[in-house]
């Protein structure tokens, strides 16, 4: 059973550029959440996608956007990159509506903005 | 005040020691409590999940929740060098979007 996969594993960009990160959820899961984890901090919730729509959103600017595809995979897009966007970006998948289910995380994409 | 407070450590213990990791939280509406383990440069891995006060045991790990004090703990018995990692507490109020602590770095030395 494949777990959550993310690509790429590492990425280097310069300020002002745009980036797209990708995530495939764990088999059987239909909900994808994205988190940003700065060095030495816990993951911070960006947004969650279910049925191809953004269902919840954390306190992140509109430069952060996403998409979910019919096969439940998801993309995170960040425009106009800032130095402060350097972080580990984590994707987590879950099964909607299950109170006893929690989220399973992928290995993350480490983004460095120069 | 942050919603979830966790001492970043590092906490250094000898192999075989009992480890106690703790978090406090401020919102009494939180009902689901989780502990994740995160190795360096990896994603978090779910260790324990509970939704009630009291203890839950799984092998060498015991999660403890005290809702009256808004305090949760993770105990690791017979700690091993392979337990060296960052331990994140996460708490959810029912939205399925957990709020994480900043993590405690644990070092178990042989």
pLDDT in tens, A74-86: 999 999 999 999 9
Contacts of B98 in chain A (CB under 8 A): 45, 102-103
Q: Is B100 a residue whose pLDDT tops 60?
A: yes
A59 and chain B: CB distance < 8 Å anywhere?
Answer: no
- On the question of pLDDT at B93 being above 70, the answer is yes
Nearest to B102 among A40, A88, A106 (CB): A40
- Residue A32 clears pLDDT 60, i.e. is over it: yes
Q: Average the pLDDT over A87-102 and give the result.
A: 80
Lowest model confidence (mean pLDDT) among A2-6, A34-38, B57-61: A2-6
B87: distance to nearest CA of chain A, Å?
A: 10
- Residue B101, chain A, CB below 8 Å: the answer is yes
Residue tagged 């770095």 (tokens) = B105
Q: What is the pLDDT of residue A30?
A: 92
Maximum Cα–Cα distance for chain A, whole Å? Answer: 41
For all residues of chain B together, what is the average pLDDT?
Answer: 92
Show residues of chain A in contact with B103, CB under 8 Å: 40-42
> Between B44 and A102, where is the model more confident?
B44
B27 close to B3: Cβ distance less than 8 angstroms:
yes
| Total H helices, total E strands in chain A | 0, 11
Contact A9/B at CB under 8 A = no
* Structure tokens, A112: 């460095």
**Given this model, what pLDDT does residue A100 score?**
55
**What pLDDT is stored for residue B96 in this prediction?**
74
Please, is A84 exposed, middle or buried when counting C-beta atoms within 10 Å of its C-beta (0-12, 13-18, 19+)?
Answer: exposed
Quote the radius of gyration of chain A (alpha carbons, Å).
13
Question: Distance of CA B73 to CAs A101, B25, B26, B79, B85, Å?
Answer: 21, 12, 15, 16, 16
Q: Any residues with CB less than 8 A from the CB of B34 and at least 6 apart, and which?
A: A102, B46, B47, B48, B49, B50, B89, B90, B91, B92, B98
Sign of CA dihedral A22, A52, A3, A59: positive
Binned at pLDDT 50, 70 and 90, residue A45 comes out as: very high
């Amino acid at each position: 059973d494949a777990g959550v996969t993310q690509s790429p594993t590492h990425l280097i960009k310069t300020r002002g550029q745009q980036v797209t990160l990708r995530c495939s959820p764990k088999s059987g899961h239909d909900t994808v959440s994205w988190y940003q984890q700065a060095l030495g901090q816990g993951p911070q919730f960006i947004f969650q996608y279910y049925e191809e729509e953004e269902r919840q959103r954390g306190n992140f600017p509109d430069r952060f956007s996403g998409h979910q595809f019919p096969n439940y995979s998801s993309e995170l897009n960040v425009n106009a990159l800032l130095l402060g966007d350097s972080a580990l970006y984590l994707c987590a998948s879950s099964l909607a509506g299950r109170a006893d289910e929690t989220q399973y995380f992928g290995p993350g994409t480490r983004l460095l903005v120069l | 005040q942050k919603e979830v407070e966790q001492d970043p450590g590092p906490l250094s213990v000898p192999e075989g020691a009992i480890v106690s990791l703790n978090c406090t939280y401020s919102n009494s509406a939180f009902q689901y409590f989780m502990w994740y383990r995160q190795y360096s440069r990896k994603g978090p891995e779910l260790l324990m999940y509970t939704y009630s006060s009291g203890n839950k045991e799984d092998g060498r790990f015991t999660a403890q929740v005290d809702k009256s004090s808004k305090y949760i703990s993770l105990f690791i018995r017979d700690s091993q060098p392979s337990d060296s990692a960052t331990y994140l507490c996460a708490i959810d109020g029912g939205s399925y979007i957990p709020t994480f602590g900043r993590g405690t770095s644990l070092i178990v030395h042989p």
